[in-house]
Structure 1
Amino acid sequence: MTKVDFVNMLYSFMFLLLENYGVRKLEAVFAVLISTMALSFAWMFADTKPSGKELLIGLLVPKLSSRTIRQAVGVVGCVIMPHNVFLHSALVQSRKIDPNKKGQVQEAINYYGIESSVALLVSFMINLFVTTVFAKGFYGSKQADGIGLVNAGQYLQEKYGGGLFPILYIWGIGLLAAGQSSTITGTYAGQFIMGGFLNLRLKKSLRALITRSCAILPTIMVALVFNKSDSSLDVLNEWLNVLQSIQIPFALIPLLTLVSKEQVMGVFKIGPALERVAWTVAGLVIVINGYLLLDFFLSEVNGLLFGFLVCAGTAAYVSFIVYLISHSGSELSNWLSQLFSKGNA
């Protein structure tokens, strides 16, 4: 076990202890870490002085080459992390609201909507700051291919210098906050999910010890396998973000299904217009993931056995998504049903 693995494991259990002091304390820790990230990366963004015009054009008319599609999908996974859907659902349940009082429920929904929107906006801005800083300094340069998490701070320091506060330290503070925020969100999301599925009737501390121990062991194994070079860890990190994006439909489709059903949400189900927009966005994410899988298949798959495994995995992935959509009761599921019925006719 490396020192980093041990520290992360220690932090995981420390964060779980926060639950004994109430969910609000936990949310306060989230707020501090995210604020630290946002301020650090915003400071970097201001120090580098990127072109506002080029940034606006890039936001409104994004251009991607086939070489950058994996990074783009990874950014989607960073912003819309699927495990945060479950984490937010668990945190929402911690608030005491009388479900029989429509006014209280509607007020809570409004505030939860604002909270989720702000969280996604902050996450988007953090990714925007980081991407812009590195794009301005290193896009198209010889150093671009050699930059990773390990040496990024040194490259930033050499490119942008010290200033009032060395950018190397600003990057380090932001990266540390990002790592701890990721640790705590992943830890608690996994804890809530495993606790819910297993329905363990144990003390919180003992339950956390069992579930987290089961989750940490595979993490340590992966870290040991990829802990061969700095570049391999960067590749692992990149593919982990891509994996998050690929997993989004498994969290998003059931969520859209539930919030669209009157028997579940009652009068608070989402309207037809919002439902169409939500399913359109979900469809775009699925299409992007499909393109990534196709690109991976064409560029990386070599050998009959590996090709067969990738094809089987892709077919299972697509089939499960189609299954989820077909049982969602949405307009899209009705369209799929009609399509299959015509095919069988």
Structure 2
Amino acid sequence: MYPNPYEQSQPLLLKEQEDGKPRETAYESSEKIVVVGIDESVNCGTEVPPFSWKKLWLFTGPGFLMSIGFLDPGNIEGDLQAGAIAGYSLLWLLMWATAMGLLIQLLSARLGVATGKHLAELCREEYPRWARNVLWVMAEFALIGSDIQEVIGSAIAIRILSNGVVPLWGGVVITALDCFILLFLENYGVRSLEAFFAVLIGIMALSFAWMFGEAKPSGEELLVGILVPRISSRTIQQAVGVVGCLIMPHNVFLHSALVQSRKVDHTNKGRVQEALNYYSIESTLALIVSFVINILVTSVFAKGFYGSEMANSIGLENAGQYLQQTYGGGVLPILYIWGIGLLAAGQSSTITGTYAGQFIMGGFLNLRMKKWMRAMITRSSAIVPTMIVALWFDTREDSLDVLNEWLNVLQSVQIPFALIPLLCMVSKEQIMGTFKIGTVLKVISWCVAALVTVINGYLLLEFFSSEVNGLIVGAIVCVVTAAYVAFIVYLILRATAFFNILRMTKPNSAAAKGDTSLG
């Protein structure tokens, strides 16, 4: 039999077994979906099989789970504030920010499909112990910050729908139980879990479309907002928020794992390319849906609150009351429609957060434990601080906006620690083989990463310039900032030829032994 040239160009994929045991993946082999379509018995080699609607349907799912990261309560709050303060003028930026998010998520999917491993696993293998431990801690901080926003958003929705009977901390307890929903659905297979999330996305779309119909925003102004770029000094902070809240660090880790829920023959280049094509289509469709939902929310608040006295004070906590005052009640009061949509956003995002936490913890720490135990650990690590927050802020409603600002900062500082490892890995032939990204895509991707990092850097600068007071606190912030920047520089330089040359000059290096890792 002739050797497979594709296998020879994929050194990472040849490390199927270490110490005689199959390498760890995001899903057990028995859990993966077998994609059946046209001419499955034909060994196509490097030829990509023809397009099949049936196959597209079977590959559809991971992208929609990923898209929930673009629809969580933090994003919903960003949408409503952008609409209330900037009107329709930032819709064009929302569109391009979604496009940038799509590019990053497609690269994440590419990494997972081409290597058969997700980003957290590859970080464990490719970086030295100290660096991967820092990356793990940063990923956990980002996940906890995101989860607090999502759980608080769900708790606010529960309080709205219960007419204030259920306090904020009670909503947190109810939301915490979604871990059991995840564990229950996982017993019925990946498709059951994906169907559940599709229902929640449908509820969001229906709720916010209903609100759109009640508000009747101007179609002409909406179209101009999408097509004509406009920005002013008064709306710069909202513009930064629109871009910053769409790129979620844990979502980058999540998507690279979700795509492994389908069985793909990694020794067959044509099959890998086929999977990438279908995942690209379904991810694009999923983010188009999320973009439309974000537009609906922004437009409703642009029509009702732009230019009003309430514009600068609106947030998740009081948005329902303001909507009710502005639009009144119909067959179903708009307050409850808002609560239903917000609850669907919060519940779906908290469950995907738990899912992402399992992959992050399992990948970085190489944990071999049952999924229910890993889910409980992940859920507890986020729920405990969220409960403390809920108890503290339950009677301090105005302080929830301050909390949200701090959480946005917490997540913003983590973004480079997901993007830089991702871009370094998808650019390397020893990791991606023939599926490494080309020069043009590499330049575009790094420009997007640089833009997102600069935008979030601006957000941090604005935040700390107004929040940090005192010489000692300022000195501490400077020291932490220096360490932060130094680690980012290290991650970037690690991918350069300098480190590769340094490795090759060591006689006992891993490279000399044929190891393809960077660590």
Range class of TM-score, shorter chain: 0.7 to 0.9
Q: Which has the larger radius of gyration?
A: 2
Which residue matches 2:312?
A: 145
Q: Does residue 62 of the first structure (1) align with residue 230 of the second (2)?
A: yes
Which residue matches 1:217?
A: 384
Which of residues 299, 302, 308 is equivalent to 1:132? 299
Which residue matches 2:485?
A: 318
Which deviations, in whole Å up to 9, do the C-alpha atoms of 1:172-216 show, x marking residues without a partner?
A: 111110111111111111121112223222222233223432333
Q: Quick one: which amino acid aligns to residue 268 of structure 2?
A: K
- 1:31-50 to structure 2, matched below 5 A, reads 31-50=198-217
Which of residues 286, 290, 293 is equivalent to 2:453? 286
CA distance in 1: counterparts of 2:449 and 2:296, whole angstroms? 25
CA distance in 1: counterparts of 2:423 and 2:281, whole angstroms? 18
Residues 219 and 175 of structure 1: CA distance in aligned 2, closer, same or farther (over 3 Å) = same
After TM superposition, the score normalised by the length of structure 1 is: 0.86
Which residue matches 1:340?
A: none
- 1:193-212 to structure 2, matched below 5 A, reads 193-212=360-379
CA distance in 2: counterparts of 1:37 and 1:241, whole angstroms? 23
RMSD over aligned CA atoms reads: 2.3
Which residue matches 2:44?
A: none
Residues 39 and 78 of structure 1: CA distance in aligned 2, closer, same or farther (over 3 Å) = farther
Q: Is the 8 A contact 1:9 1:216 kept in 2?
A: yes
| Cα distance, 1:73 vs structure 2 | 3.6
Which deviations, in whole Å up to 9, do the C-alpha atoms of 1:153-184 show, x marking residues without a partner?
A: 22112212334543222211111101111111
Residues 247 and 121 of structure 1: CA distance in aligned 2, closer, same or farther (over 3 Å) = farther
Q: Quick one: which amino acid aligns to residue 214 of structure 2?
A: D
Which deviations, in whole Å up to 9, do the C-alpha atoms of 1:111-131 show, x marking residues without a partner?
A: 122233233333333222212
CA distance in 2: counterparts of 1:128 and 1:25, whole angstroms? 28
Deviates further, 158-167 or 271-280: 158-167
CA distance in 1: counterparts of 2:362 and 2:279, whole angstroms? 23
Residues 298 and 242 of structure 1: CA distance in aligned 2, closer, same or farther (over 3 Å) = closer
CA distance in 2: counterparts of 1:312 and 1:224, whole angstroms? 32
Residues 216 and 89 of structure 1: CA distance in aligned 2, closer, same or farther (over 3 Å) = same
Which deviations, in whole Å up to 9, do the C-alpha atoms of 1:51-89 show, x marking residues without a partner?
A: 3343344333131436751x4444334322221111111
Q: Does residue 170 of the first structure (1) align with residue 331 of the second (2)?
A: no
Residues 3 and 319 of structure 1: CA distance in aligned 2, closer, same or farther (over 3 Å) = same
CA distance in 1: counterparts of 2:315 and 2:183, whole angstroms? 30
Residues 242 and 127 of structure 1: CA distance in aligned 2, closer, same or farther (over 3 Å) = farther
Q: Quick one: which amino acid aligns to residue 383 of structure 2?
A: I
| Cα distance, 1:141 vs structure 2 | 1.4
Which of residues 319, 336, 348 is equivalent to 1:181? 348
Which residue matches 1:334?
A: none
Deviates further, 294-303 or 266-275: 294-303
After TM superposition, the score normalised by the length of structure 2 is: 0.59
- Structure with greater proportional helix content: 1
Q: Is the 8 A contact 2:253 2:360 kept in 1?
A: yes
- 1:300-311 to structure 2, matched below 5 A, reads 300-311=467-478
CA distance in 1: counterparts of 2:464 and 2:410, whole angstroms? 15
Q: Is the 8 A contact 1:187 1:212 kept in 2?
A: yes
Which residue matches 2:145?
A: none
CA distance in 2: counterparts of 1:86 and 1:255, whole angstroms? 9
CA distance in 1: counterparts of 2:317 and 2:284, whole angstroms? 32
- 1:1-345 to structure 2, matched below 5 A, reads 2-59=169-226, 60-65=228-233, 69=237, 71-163=238-330, 165-329=332-496
Deviates further, 265-274 or 242-251: 242-251
CA distance in 1: counterparts of 2:394 and 2:475, whole angstroms? 28
* Runs of at least 5 residues in structure 1 that lack an aligned partner in the other structure: 331-345
Q: Indicate the percent of aligned positions where both proteins have the same amino acid.
A: 70
Residue aligned with 2:421, SS = helix
Which residue matches 1:336?
A: none
Q: Quick one: which amino acid aligns to residue 216 of structure 2?
A: K
Q: Is the 8 A contact 1:41 1:171 kept in 2?
A: yes
Q: Quick one: which amino acid aligns to residue 276 of structure 1?
A: V
| Cα distance, 1:286 vs structure 2 | 0.8
Q: Is the 8 A contact 1:191 1:212 kept in 2?
A: no
Matched residue count: 329
Q: Quick one: which amino acid aligns to residue 196 of structure 1?
A: G
Q: Which has the higher contact order (CA 8 A, sep 6+)?
A: 2
Q: Is the 8 A contact 1:40 1:170 kept in 2?
A: yes
CA distance in 1: counterparts of 2:307 and 2:323, whole angstroms? 15
Residue aligned with 2:177, SS = helix
* Runs of at least 5 residues in structure 2 that lack an aligned partner in the other structure: 1-167, 498-519
Q: Is the 8 A contact 2:409 2:460 kept in 1?
A: no
Which deviations, in whole Å up to 9, do the C-alpha atoms of 1:1-35 show, x marking residues without a partner?
A: 92122112111232233222222222222211122
CA distance in 2: counterparts of 1:165 and 1:321, whole angstroms? 50
CA distance in 2: counterparts of 1:310 and 1:119, whole angstroms? 39
